[in-house]
């Protein structure tokens, strides 16, 4: 049911109220452009939506939302808990501007002991749990997982190699030699004994650290009494490795075996939610989130909305500790429990160790927010300086810097880096492989023309001038573009931009390196102005130098990666139809690509997965007369 455009928001909503049921569900409010501006859930759709027909007295944010509404959509659910889960799913997918939005929705890594193989493998896992095995986590960073796996290798000697590597071994690898693997691949340890190591590792990661350490202690003492000093030393080393795993967390718990701890801080209209993961009585890391939320919301409201979105695609532990009282705590518990199959308890502790853990998380949230505000203030000051010194109407929200990299025209790439109010935005960096084969090798002007033509023609075709990244708030269109080069580069840019007829005015600035390429003596070129220099010790000059250096670093790194890829390119990659599986089969049989090139047609046809037609294709590729 849609209402005429001229009808105000409250009138639109009244039309829907007449036919709404008094049952649980989710509603969506859409604006004139058909964009979803708000997603909400209700125990009674009729009662909740009726509230929006009387906007007087409601917060300003809600009034703006109501008057922007031009139509609504509804989904009925069986229970309010189902509505809560559906609401979180829709918010994450649609990202309405009036909802609290979880930014930086990263997935966290786990440690996996895969049990599908006869000799289970210890590995890092991220994403969908397709493999059969025991998952332990989440860990806050890949580095924490890598460090823990290294210690677990020393403590339990579990293999970390792939199944194909395991199958191909005829003698123990280096990890066996340095005592980080028991060597089940070549029978250095029986599968029964290896299974015991796997069980010990599983118990340790499950929190039964004391029993595992006591068992190793007894084995070490028994080996010493039997004068088996080599085995005793091995047990001692394993105990040391376990102690190292336990000492890696900066805070441990005595009574909380498994819990996620959430704390929110609010200052200057911004929010920070700190999440700590406690597993096996250890802190497995933390992560700071900065949700997008209206400054008029309370910490309780932000944390409540954040919590449900956070667990929309994650499995919660049995205990969730929060720093604020939640209005719908019972409903959140019911919703999370319905997804997991076990009881999930959400608590705001008032005393004891749980309270200390929440306080610890809250202090971290306040410190992280303080750092963010301090960095943001510095960044804003610099952007205001950029606007003043380069004659802009207002501080730029998005700055782009371009650079090229090549060696005599080979492996040429263009690079774009982006900066804004929160510093460098690496999510928005882009690289451009130079495709124009008619360019003279080393033609920097031609390369810059190609990069900017591709960048801005695509931007004009795909993005509105007011569009922005929904997660970071970064605009799609730049306000300022810095080009590494002088008047010549700027003229090349002007040719491109004039031909594209952009819908938004963008300021282009050329940066020419100073005499003897000295930093601090750069000349700046702008259309309609003579070349000029900035004061030698001006903070804005240092800022622009950092931008240019970052673009140069990114361009050089991309070029080197491309050059390295070309250097190790396998001749088999050039043959159509040769994928990883066939390539592996050919190399395992013949030993090298060179040997494949010398093989006869009959020999090629004998390889599993290589048909007679494919064998002919391979043979012809290497034997063109």
Q: Which segment of 6-15, 230-239, 389-398, 421-430 scores lowest on mean pLDDT?
A: 230-239
Which residues, 6+ apart, have CB-to-CB distance to 163 below 8 Å? 117, 121
For residue 517, give the 3-state DSSP assignment.
helix
On whether the CB atoms of residues 615 and 604 are closer than 8 A, the answer is yes
446 with 555, same domain: the answer is yes
Helices (H) and strands (E) in the chain, counts: 20, 18
- Report the C-alpha gap between 348 and 542 in whole angstroms: 47
Highest mean pLDDT among 247-251, 274-278, 292-296, 443-447: 274-278
Asked whether the beta carbons of 102 and 113 are under 8 A apart, the reply is no
Q: Sign of the C-alpha dihedral, residues 419, 424, 430, 431? A: positive
User: By mean pLDDT, which of 1-15, 125-139, 324-338 is the weakest?
Assistant: 1-15
The one-character DSSP state at 475 is B
Average of pLDDT values for 275-299?
86
pLDDT (mean) for 80-101: 90
Q: Which domain holds residue 611?
A: 571-622
Say whether both 173 and 289 belong to one domain: no
Asked whether residue 350 is assigned to any structural domain, the reply reads yes
What burial letters (b/e) apply to 7-31, b meaning 16+ CB within 10 Å? eebbebbbbbbeebeebbbbbbbbb
Q: 496-516, pLDDT tens digit by residue?
A: 888 787 888 889 999 887 655
Are residues 346 and 440 both part of a single domain?
no
Checking DSSP bridges between strand 410-420 and strand 423-424, what pairing results, if any?
antiparallel
- Cα–Cα distance between 25 and 83 in angstroms, integer? 5
Residue 209 lies in a domain: yes
381 belongs to a structural domain: no
pLDDT for position 71: 92
Q: 42 falls in which pLDDT band (50, 70, 90)?
A: very high
Instruction: Give me the pLDDT at residue 154, please.
Output: 81
Give tens-digit pLDDT for 340-356. Answer: 888 999 999 999 999 99
Residue 568: per-residue pLDDT: 56
Model confidence at 177: pLDDT above 50: yes
Say which CATH number the domain at 359 has.
Answer: 3.30.420.10
The residue-averaged pLDDT of 399-403 equals 92
- Describe the crossing of helices 229-247 and 142-156 by its angle, rounded to 10 degrees: 160
Nearest in space to 560 (alpha carbons), one of 402, 404, 405, 401: 405
Q: Return the CATH number at 66.
A: 3.40.1440.10
Looking at residue 595, what is its pLDDT? 80
Nearest-angstrom CA–CA distance, 173 and 183:
8
pLDDT value at 625 more than 60: no
Q: What is the CA radius of gyration of the chain?
A: 31
SS3 state at 111: strand
Query: What's the mean per-residue pLDDT of the chain?
Result: 84
Q: Same domain for 417 and 451?
A: yes
Q: Does any domain span residue 382? A: no
User: What's the pTM?
Assistant: 0.67
Does residue 437 share a domain with residue 309?
A: no
Same domain, yes or no, for 403 and 516?
Answer: yes
Residue 564 above 80 pLDDT? no
* Domain membership flag for residue 378: no
Long-range contacts made by residues 572-575, C-beta under 8 angstroms, separation at least 24? 572/596, 574/621, 575/617, 575/618, 575/621
The CATH number covering residue 618 comes to 1.10.150.20
Query: Does residue 144 fall inside a structural domain?
Result: yes
C-alpha separations of 62 from 8, 70, 148, 432 in Å: 14, 14, 47, 44
CA distance 33 to 618: 56
pLDDT at 25 over 90: yes
3-state secondary structure of 365: helix
The arithmetic mean of pLDDT across residues 134-160, rounded, is 83
Q: How far apart are CA 27 and CA 396, in angstroms?
A: 37
Same domain, 416 and 526: yes
292 with 349, same domain: the answer is: yes
With the CA atoms of 242, 245, 251 and 253 taken in that order, what torsion angle do they form, in degrees rounded to the nearest 10?
-50
Size of the chain, expressed as the number of residues it contains = 625
Identify the pLDDT of residue 494: 84
Buried b (16+ CB within 10 A) or exposed e, 244-262: bbeeebeeebeebbebbbb
Higher pLDDT, 247 or 181: 181
Q: What is the pLDDT of residue 242?
A: 66
Judgement on whether residues 79 and 127 belong to the same structural domain of the protein = no
Q: What per-residue confidence (pLDDT) applies to 272?
A: 92
Return all residues near 525 (Cβ < 8 A) that are at least 6 apart.
Answer: 486, 487, 490, 509, 510, 511, 512, 531
Give the 3-state secondary structure percentages of the chain, helix then strand then coil, rounded to 5.
45, 20, 35
Give me the pLDDT at residue 33, please: 86
Within 10 angstroms of residue 70's Cβ, the number of other Cβ atoms is 22
Structural contact between residues 282 and 252, judged by C-beta atoms closer than 8 angstroms: yes
Q: Is the pLDDT of residue 87 over 50?
A: yes
Last residue of a domain, one of 544, 564, 584: 564
| Pair (538, 618) in one structural domain | no
Residue 543 has pLDDT above 50, yes or no: yes
Residue 105, pLDDT score? 66
Please name the helix (run of DSSP H) or strand (run of DSSP E) that holds residue 407, with its range, or none: strand 398-407
What is the count of structural domains for the chain? 5
Report whether pLDDT(234) > 90. Answer: no
Task: Report how far residue 133's alpha carbon sits from residue 6's, in angstroms, rounded to the nearest whole number.
Answer: 59
CB under 8 Å, gap of 24 or more: what pairs does 364-367 form? 364/263, 364/274, 364/276, 364/286, 364/288, 365/263, 365/264, 365/265, 365/272, 365/273, 365/274, 365/288, 365/323, 366/265, 366/267, 366/272
Residue that wins the pLDDT comparison between 523 and 467:
523
pLDDT of 1 higher than 50 = no
* 239-253: average pLDDT: 62
Packed helices 329-340 and 80-94: angle between N→C axes, nearest 10 degrees: 80
Is the Cα dihedral 321, 322, 325, 326 positive or negative? negative
Q: 608 pLDDT band (50/70/90 cuts)?
A: confident
Shared-domain flag, residues 46 and 187:
no
Last residue within a domain, chosen from 247, 276, 293: 247
User: Are both 144 and 14 inside the same structural domain?
Assistant: no
pLDDT at res. 5: 46
pLDDT digits (tens, 9 = 90+) for 195-215: 988 988 888 777 666 667 777
């Amino acid at each position: 049911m849609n209402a005429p455009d001229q009808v105000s928001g409250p009138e639109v909503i009244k039309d829907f109220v007449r036919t709404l049921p008094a049952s649980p569900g989710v509603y969506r409010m859409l604006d004139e452009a058909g964009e979803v501006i708000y997603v909400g859930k209700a125990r009674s759709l009729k009662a909740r939506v009726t509230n929006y027909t009387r906007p007087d007295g409601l917060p300003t944010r809600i009034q703006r939302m109501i008057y922007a509404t031009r139509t609504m959509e509804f989904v009925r659910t069986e229970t309010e808990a189902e509505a809560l889960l559906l609401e979180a799913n829709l918010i994450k997918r649609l990202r309405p501007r009036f909802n609290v939005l979880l930014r930086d929705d990263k997935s966290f890594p786990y440690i996996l002991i895969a049990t599908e193989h006869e000799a289970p493998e210890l590995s890092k896992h991220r994403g969908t749990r397709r493999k059969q095995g025991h998952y332990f986590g989440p860990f806050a960073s890949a580095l924490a997982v890598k460090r823990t796996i290294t210690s677990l290798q020393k403590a339990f000697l579990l293999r970390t190699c792939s199944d194909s590597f395991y199958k191909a071994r005829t003698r123990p690898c280096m990890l066996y030699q340095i005592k980080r693997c028991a060597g089940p691949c070549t029978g250095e340890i029986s599968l029964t004994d290896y299974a015991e190591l796997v069980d010990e590792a599983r118990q340790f990661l499950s929190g039964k650290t004391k029993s595992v350490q006591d068992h190793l202690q007894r084995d070490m003492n028994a080996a010493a009494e039997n004068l088996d000093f080599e085995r005793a030393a091995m047990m001692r080393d394993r105990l040391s490795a376990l102690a190292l795993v336990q000492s890696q967390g900066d805070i441990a718990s005595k009574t909380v075996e498994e819990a996620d701890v959430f704390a929110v801080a609010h200052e200057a209209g911004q929010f920070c939610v700190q999440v700590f993961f406690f597993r096996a009585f250890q802190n497995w890391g933390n992560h700071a989130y900065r949700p997008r939320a209206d400054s008029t919301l309370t910490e309780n409201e932000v944390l409540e909305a954040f919590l449900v979105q956070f667990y929309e695609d994650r499995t919660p532990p049995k205990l969730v500790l929060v720093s604020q009282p939640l209005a719908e705590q019972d409903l959140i518990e019911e919703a999370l429990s319905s997804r997991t199959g076990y009881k999930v308890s959400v608590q705001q502790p008032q005393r004891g160790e749980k309270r200390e853990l929440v306080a610890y998380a809250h202090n971290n949230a306040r410190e992280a927010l303080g750092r963010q505000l301090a960095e943001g203030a510095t960044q804003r000051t610099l952007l205001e300086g950029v606007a003043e010194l380069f004659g802009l109407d207002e501080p730029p929200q998005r700055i782009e810097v371009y650079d090229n990299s090549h060696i005599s025209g080979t492996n040429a790439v263009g690079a774009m880096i982006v900066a804004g109010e929160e510093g460098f935005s690496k999510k928005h960096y882009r690289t451009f492989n130079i495709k124009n084969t008619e360019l003279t090798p080393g033609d920097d002007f031609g390369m810059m023309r190609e990069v900017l033509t591709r960048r801005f023609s695509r931007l004009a075709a795909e993005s509105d001038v007011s569009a922005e990244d929904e997660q970071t708030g970064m605009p799609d269109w730049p306000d300022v573009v810095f080009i590494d080069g002088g008047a010549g580069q700027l003229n090349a840019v002007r040719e491109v931009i004039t031909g594209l007829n952009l819908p938004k005015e963008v300021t282009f600035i050329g940066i020419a390196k100073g005499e003897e390429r000295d930093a601090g003596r750069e000349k700046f070129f702008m259309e309609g102005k003579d070349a000029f220099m900035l004061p030698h010790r001006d903070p804005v000059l240092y800022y622009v130098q950092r931008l240019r250096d970052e673009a140069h670093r990114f361009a050089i790194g991309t070029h080197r990666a491309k050059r390295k890829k070309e250097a190790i390119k396998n001749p088999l990659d050039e043959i159509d139809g040769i994928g990883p599986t066939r390539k592996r089969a050919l190399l395992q049989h013949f030993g090298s690509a060179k040997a494949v090139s010398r093989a006869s047609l009959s020999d090629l046809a004998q390889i599993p997965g290589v048909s007679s037609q494919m064998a002919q294709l391979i043979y012809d590729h290497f034997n063109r007369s």
